[in-house]
Structure 1
């Protein structure tokens, strides 16, 4: 299994994801890896950690998710690995519930999201986003 963290999806990934079936509410599992230091494009805040820059994004994105009728279900620091093997652990896991793919798309394309993305890009080294459907488990 090849695992590659990314900050932004490629156009092909975005088209495939947003072109998928509209099948109701889903939970996005976010595996987050932060930069040691924030890297703002304008060079500002060189002493801010990547996690702190991302926290600025997270606070605002929570409001956007809730405005859609969704909810951030969980976020927590990764402290260890019991099973499996990865070269480097993620720093944080977050679970966000969205009412629909259309709602997620609207949020992702909104001016409000665009206004806060610089914090995400400044703090995030990479991530995995895993879409999950409720009730499909054991």
Structure 2
């Protein structure tokens, strides 16, 4: 399995994601890897960690998320792995619920997001975003062997 962290999706990847079927609420799993120190384009705040820069983004993105009908469900440090193997663990996991793909897309393009994205870029070395949908009752889910 190939795992590649990124800070921004490529154009085709974003287009495919947002043109997928609209099936209501979903939870985005964010696996986050931070830079050792923040890297702002103007060189400011080079003394703070990438996690601290990302925390600035988090404070504001939670407000935006709520204004678009979503919510932050959980955030915590990754402290270990029990099963499987990765070359390097992520630093943090965050779960965010969105009411729809359309709401997420609109939020990603809004002026408020543009105003805070520099903190995200300054702090993140890369991440994985995994869209999940709630388990539907009476739906058969294959169990792992």
Q: Same fold (TM over 0.5)?
A: yes
Secondary structure of 1:131's counterpart equals strand
Q: Give the deviation of 1:135 after TM superposition.
A: 1.4
Provide the aligned C-alpha RMSD in A.
Answer: 1.0
What is aligned with 1:7?
A: 7
Correspondence 1:99-118 to 2 at 5 A: 99-118=99-118
After the TM superposition, list the runs of 4 or more consecutive aligned residues in structure 1 that deviate by more than 3 angstroms: none
1:88-120 C-alpha deviation (Å, 9 max, x unpaired): 000000000000000000000101000000000
What is aligned with 1:87?
A: 87
Structure of greater Rg: 2
Return the alpha-carbon distance in structure 2 between the equivalents of residues 64 and 134 of structure 1: 22
1:48-103 C-alpha deviation (Å, 9 max, x unpaired): 10000000001100001111111100000000000000000000000000000000
Secondary structure of 2:95's counterpart equals strand
What is aligned with 1:134?
A: 134
1:16-45 C-alpha deviation (Å, 9 max, x unpaired): 001111110000000000000000011101
In structure 2, list runs of 5 or more residues that go unmatched: none
What is aligned with 2:37?
A: 37
Secondary structure of 1:41's counterpart equals coil
Return the alpha-carbon distance in structure 1 between the equivalents of residues 11 and 101 of structure 2: 17
Q: With the length of structure 1 as denominator, give the TM-score of the two structures.
A: 0.98
What is aligned with 2:59?
A: 59
Q: With the length of structure 2 as denominator, give the TM-score of the two structures.
A: 0.93
Secondary structure of 1:27's counterpart equals strand
In structure 1, list runs of 5 or more residues that go unmatched: none
What is aligned with 2:73?
A: 73
